[in-house]
Amino acid sequence: MKVALIQMNSGSDKAANLQAARGLIEQAVAEEKPDWICLPEVFDFMGGTGEQKRAAAETIPGGPAYTMLQGLAKQHAIFIHAGSILEKIEGERRVGNTTLVFNREGAEIARYRKIHMFDITAPDGAQYNESASMMPGDAVVVYDCEGVAVGCSICYDLRFPALFQALADKGAEMIALPAAFTLQTGKDHWEPLIRARAIENEVYFAASAQAGTHMQGNEPRATWGHSMLVDPWGHVVARASDGVGYVAGRVDPARVKKVRAMIPVAKHRVPLA
Protein backbone atom coordinates (compact mmCIF):
# COMPACT_ATOMS: atom_id res chain seq x y z
CA MET A 1 0.00 0.00 0.00
CA LYS A 2 1.39 3.38 -1.03
CA VAL A 3 0.81 6.15 1.54
CA ALA A 4 1.40 9.91 1.46
CA LEU A 5 1.68 12.15 4.52
CA ILE A 6 0.69 15.78 3.99
CA GLN A 7 2.48 18.49 6.00
CA MET A 8 0.83 21.91 6.31
CA ASN A 9 1.13 25.31 7.97
CA SER A 10 -2.53 25.97 8.68
CA GLY A 11 -3.77 29.21 10.18
CA SER A 12 -7.05 30.88 11.07
CA ASP A 13 -8.25 31.38 7.47
CA LYS A 14 -10.34 28.28 6.85
CA ALA A 15 -10.86 28.85 3.13
CA ALA A 16 -7.10 29.24 2.59
CA ASN A 17 -6.41 26.10 4.63
CA LEU A 18 -8.83 24.05 2.55
CA GLN A 19 -7.35 25.39 -0.67
CA ALA A 20 -3.85 24.47 0.54
CA ALA A 21 -4.99 20.97 1.56
CA ARG A 22 -6.61 20.42 -1.83
CA GLY A 23 -3.47 21.52 -3.65
CA LEU A 24 -1.20 19.23 -1.63
CA ILE A 25 -3.52 16.25 -2.04
CA GLU A 26 -3.71 16.77 -5.79
CA GLN A 27 0.08 17.18 -5.99
CA ALA A 28 0.65 13.96 -4.06
CA VAL A 29 -1.86 12.09 -6.23
CA ALA A 30 -0.24 13.33 -9.45
CA GLU A 31 3.34 12.63 -8.38
CA GLU A 32 3.03 9.52 -6.18
CA LYS A 33 -0.33 7.86 -6.97
CA PRO A 34 -0.90 6.83 -3.32
CA ASP A 35 -3.65 4.52 -2.09
CA TRP A 36 -4.00 6.38 1.23
CA ILE A 37 -3.35 10.00 2.19
CA CYS A 38 -3.18 11.49 5.69
CA LEU A 39 -3.59 15.17 6.58
CA PRO A 40 -2.34 16.83 9.81
CA GLU A 41 -4.29 17.72 12.94
CA VAL A 42 -6.79 20.61 12.64
CA PHE A 43 -5.70 21.18 9.04
CA ASP A 44 -8.90 23.18 8.49
CA PHE A 45 -8.34 25.77 11.25
CA MET A 46 -5.31 26.34 13.45
CA GLY A 47 -5.00 28.94 16.21
CA GLY A 48 -7.47 31.78 16.56
CA THR A 49 -9.68 32.43 19.57
CA GLY A 50 -12.23 30.13 21.13
CA GLU A 51 -15.02 32.02 19.39
CA GLN A 52 -13.26 31.73 16.05
CA LYS A 53 -12.82 27.99 16.58
CA ARG A 54 -16.53 27.59 17.26
CA ALA A 55 -17.37 29.64 14.16
CA ALA A 56 -15.06 27.50 12.00
CA ALA A 57 -16.36 24.17 13.33
CA GLU A 58 -18.58 21.98 11.14
CA THR A 59 -21.60 19.83 11.80
CA ILE A 60 -20.71 16.33 10.60
CA PRO A 61 -21.61 15.11 8.00
CA GLY A 62 -21.58 18.14 5.75
CA GLY A 63 -19.63 21.38 5.86
CA PRO A 64 -16.90 22.60 3.49
CA ALA A 65 -14.00 20.46 4.76
CA TYR A 66 -16.10 17.29 4.90
CA THR A 67 -17.58 17.86 1.44
CA MET A 68 -14.23 18.73 -0.15
CA LEU A 69 -12.43 15.66 1.16
CA GLN A 70 -15.31 13.34 0.39
CA GLY A 71 -15.25 14.63 -3.18
CA LEU A 72 -11.47 14.33 -3.54
CA ALA A 73 -11.49 10.75 -2.23
CA LYS A 74 -14.12 9.80 -4.81
CA GLN A 75 -12.57 11.82 -7.65
CA HIS A 76 -9.12 10.29 -7.23
CA ALA A 77 -10.31 6.86 -5.95
CA ILE A 78 -8.12 7.07 -2.83
CA PHE A 79 -8.52 6.66 0.92
CA ILE A 80 -8.25 9.99 2.77
CA HIS A 81 -7.51 9.94 6.50
CA ALA A 82 -8.65 13.50 7.02
CA GLY A 83 -6.25 14.51 9.80
CA SER A 84 -8.68 16.26 12.08
CA ILE A 85 -11.20 19.06 11.72
CA LEU A 86 -13.12 21.13 14.25
CA GLU A 87 -16.50 19.48 14.83
CA LYS A 88 -19.63 21.19 16.15
CA ILE A 89 -21.20 19.13 18.93
CA GLU A 90 -24.89 19.60 19.65
CA GLY A 91 -25.55 21.11 23.07
CA GLU A 92 -21.83 21.63 23.78
CA ARG A 93 -19.90 24.91 23.76
CA ARG A 94 -16.63 23.11 23.13
CA VAL A 95 -15.77 21.64 19.73
CA GLY A 96 -14.51 18.20 18.81
CA ASN A 97 -11.03 17.57 17.40
CA THR A 98 -12.21 14.90 15.01
CA THR A 99 -10.66 12.59 12.41
CA LEU A 100 -12.75 11.54 9.40
CA VAL A 101 -11.84 8.74 7.00
CA PHE A 102 -13.20 8.37 3.46
CA ASN A 103 -12.79 5.36 1.16
CA ARG A 104 -12.23 5.29 -2.61
CA GLU A 105 -15.96 5.82 -3.24
CA GLY A 106 -16.08 8.86 -0.95
CA ALA A 107 -18.00 7.07 1.80
CA GLU A 108 -17.16 7.90 5.42
CA ILE A 109 -15.81 4.69 6.98
CA ALA A 110 -14.42 5.90 10.33
CA ARG A 111 -14.60 8.80 12.76
CA TYR A 112 -12.38 9.40 15.78
CA ARG A 113 -12.42 12.21 18.34
CA LYS A 114 -9.13 13.01 20.12
CA ILE A 115 -9.09 11.45 23.59
CA HIS A 116 -6.20 13.15 25.42
CA MET A 117 -6.33 16.93 25.87
CA PHE A 118 -3.12 18.98 25.67
CA ASP A 119 -3.29 20.91 28.95
CA ILE A 120 0.35 21.75 29.68
CA THR A 121 2.80 24.56 30.36
CA ALA A 122 5.63 24.49 27.80
CA PRO A 123 9.30 25.07 28.69
CA ASP A 124 9.01 28.71 27.59
CA GLY A 125 6.02 29.25 29.89
CA ALA A 126 3.39 29.18 27.13
CA GLN A 127 0.18 27.57 28.36
CA TYR A 128 -1.90 25.17 26.30
CA ASN A 129 -5.39 24.38 27.56
CA GLU A 130 -7.20 22.31 24.95
CA SER A 131 -9.87 21.08 27.33
CA ALA A 132 -11.20 24.64 27.65
CA SER A 133 -12.24 24.71 23.98
CA MET A 134 -12.27 21.04 22.89
CA MET A 135 -14.36 18.11 24.06
CA PRO A 136 -12.50 14.78 24.27
CA GLY A 137 -13.71 11.52 22.81
CA ASP A 138 -13.53 8.07 24.42
CA ALA A 139 -13.66 5.52 21.58
CA VAL A 140 -10.78 3.35 20.34
CA VAL A 141 -11.16 3.28 16.55
CA VAL A 142 -9.66 0.87 13.99
CA TYR A 143 -10.82 0.62 10.37
CA ASP A 144 -10.03 -1.56 7.36
CA CYS A 145 -8.12 -0.13 4.40
CA GLU A 146 -8.28 -2.93 1.84
CA GLY A 147 -6.80 -5.51 4.18
CA VAL A 148 -4.65 -3.17 6.29
CA ALA A 149 -6.11 -2.42 9.73
CA VAL A 150 -5.51 1.26 10.55
CA GLY A 151 -5.72 2.64 14.09
CA CYS A 152 -6.66 6.25 14.87
CA SER A 153 -4.89 8.69 17.19
CA ILE A 154 -4.20 12.45 17.28
CA CYS A 155 -1.13 14.38 18.48
CA TYR A 156 -0.99 14.39 22.33
CA ASP A 157 -2.40 10.84 22.30
CA LEU A 158 1.16 9.84 21.34
CA ARG A 159 2.29 10.12 24.99
CA PHE A 160 -0.20 7.51 26.27
CA PRO A 161 0.99 4.00 25.36
CA ALA A 162 -2.17 2.29 26.62
CA LEU A 163 -4.12 3.72 23.67
CA PHE A 164 -1.70 2.22 21.15
CA GLN A 165 -1.71 -1.13 22.91
CA ALA A 166 -5.52 -1.03 22.73
CA LEU A 167 -5.32 -0.26 18.99
CA ALA A 168 -2.90 -3.15 18.46
CA ASP A 169 -5.19 -5.42 20.47
CA LYS A 170 -7.99 -4.47 18.06
CA GLY A 171 -5.81 -5.60 15.16
CA ALA A 172 -4.12 -2.37 14.03
CA GLU A 173 -1.19 -2.96 11.64
CA MET A 174 -0.68 0.73 10.93
CA ILE A 175 -1.45 3.68 13.19
CA ALA A 176 -2.18 7.17 11.88
CA LEU A 177 -1.21 10.19 13.99
CA PRO A 178 -2.25 13.58 12.60
CA ALA A 179 -0.46 16.13 14.78
CA ALA A 180 0.47 19.73 15.54
CA PHE A 181 3.39 19.03 17.89
CA THR A 182 4.97 22.14 19.36
CA LEU A 183 8.47 23.07 18.25
CA GLN A 184 9.83 22.85 21.81
CA THR A 185 8.50 19.37 22.57
CA GLY A 186 8.83 18.09 19.01
CA LYS A 187 12.56 18.63 18.66
CA ASP A 188 13.21 16.30 21.62
CA HIS A 189 10.22 13.96 21.83
CA TRP A 190 8.55 13.57 18.40
CA GLU A 191 10.77 10.97 16.76
CA PRO A 192 11.61 8.96 19.92
CA LEU A 193 7.94 8.60 20.82
CA ILE A 194 6.85 7.66 17.30
CA ARG A 195 9.57 5.05 16.93
CA ALA A 196 8.84 3.66 20.41
CA ARG A 197 5.12 3.26 19.65
CA ALA A 198 5.95 1.54 16.35
CA ILE A 199 8.46 -0.82 18.00
CA GLU A 200 6.46 -1.75 21.09
CA ASN A 201 3.27 -2.46 19.11
CA GLU A 202 5.04 -3.79 15.98
CA VAL A 203 3.06 -1.55 13.63
CA TYR A 204 3.70 0.96 10.89
CA PHE A 205 3.32 4.49 12.23
CA ALA A 206 2.18 7.26 9.88
CA ALA A 207 2.43 10.74 11.41
CA SER A 208 1.34 13.84 9.45
CA ALA A 209 2.25 17.13 11.12
CA GLN A 210 1.72 20.85 11.11
CA ALA A 211 4.92 22.82 10.50
CA GLY A 212 5.86 26.46 11.04
CA THR A 213 4.24 29.31 12.96
CA HIS A 214 0.59 30.24 13.45
CA MET A 215 -1.12 32.81 15.67
CA GLN A 216 -2.99 31.82 18.82
CA GLY A 217 -4.82 35.06 19.44
CA ASN A 218 -1.99 37.62 19.53
CA GLU A 219 0.67 35.05 20.42
CA PRO A 220 2.81 33.23 17.82
CA ARG A 221 3.02 29.45 18.27
CA ALA A 222 5.56 27.26 16.45
CA THR A 223 5.02 23.65 15.37
CA TRP A 224 7.71 21.06 14.64
CA GLY A 225 6.75 19.40 11.35
CA HIS A 226 8.95 16.40 10.40
CA SER A 227 6.08 14.15 9.31
CA MET A 228 7.30 10.57 9.15
CA LEU A 229 6.51 6.99 8.27
CA VAL A 230 8.13 4.38 10.54
CA ASP A 231 8.06 0.60 10.05
CA PRO A 232 7.35 -2.08 12.71
CA TRP A 233 11.08 -2.47 13.44
CA GLY A 234 11.39 1.23 14.17
CA HIS A 235 13.12 2.19 10.92
CA VAL A 236 12.21 5.58 9.46
CA VAL A 237 10.89 4.84 5.97
CA ALA A 238 10.15 8.46 4.98
CA ARG A 239 10.64 11.81 6.69
CA ALA A 240 9.74 15.41 5.86
CA SER A 241 11.72 18.42 6.97
CA ASP A 242 10.10 21.51 8.50
CA GLY A 243 8.28 23.03 5.50
CA VAL A 244 4.97 22.56 3.71
CA GLY A 245 4.77 19.53 1.42
CA TYR A 246 4.42 15.76 1.69
CA VAL A 247 6.39 12.53 1.93
CA ALA A 248 5.45 9.09 0.63
CA GLY A 249 6.35 5.48 1.32
CA ARG A 250 5.05 1.93 1.23
CA VAL A 251 3.35 -0.14 3.92
CA ASP A 252 3.70 -3.93 3.68
CA PRO A 253 1.43 -6.04 5.95
CA ALA A 254 3.86 -8.96 5.47
CA ARG A 255 6.50 -6.89 7.25
CA VAL A 256 4.19 -6.56 10.27
CA LYS A 257 3.63 -10.32 10.36
CA LYS A 258 7.38 -11.02 10.06
CA VAL A 259 8.32 -8.69 12.93
CA ARG A 260 5.55 -10.08 15.15
CA ALA A 261 6.71 -13.62 14.42
CA MET A 262 10.32 -12.78 15.36
CA ILE A 263 9.39 -11.04 18.62
CA PRO A 264 5.84 -12.08 19.62
CA VAL A 265 5.32 -9.30 22.16
CA ALA A 266 1.54 -9.65 22.25
CA LYS A 267 1.83 -13.35 23.20
CA HIS A 268 4.46 -12.65 25.86
CA ARG A 269 2.58 -9.85 27.59
CA VAL A 270 1.98 -10.61 31.27
CA PRO A 271 -1.14 -9.01 32.85
CA LEU A 272 -0.16 -6.76 35.73
CA ALA A 273 -2.39 -5.82 38.64
Q: Exactly one of 53, 58, 114, 145 is catalytic; name it.
A: 114
Q: Exactly one of 38, 145, 152, 155 is catalytic; name it.
A: 155
The answer to whether 127 touches 146, Cβ cutoff 8 Å, is: no
> Rounded CA gap, 185 and 174, in Å?
24
Phi first, then psi, for residue 68 (nearest 5°) are -60, -50
51 a catalytic residue: no
The answer to whether 9 touches 214, Cβ cutoff 8 Å, is: yes
> Rounded CA gap, 239 and 208, in Å?
10
Q: Exactly one of 14, 38, 41, 130 is catalytic; name it.
A: 41
Cis peptide before 61 (omega within 30 of 0): yes
114 a catalytic residue: yes
Order the strands of the 236-239 sheet from edge to edge. 142-145, 148-152, 174-179, 204-209, 228-230, 236-239
What residues are labeled active site? 41, 114, 155
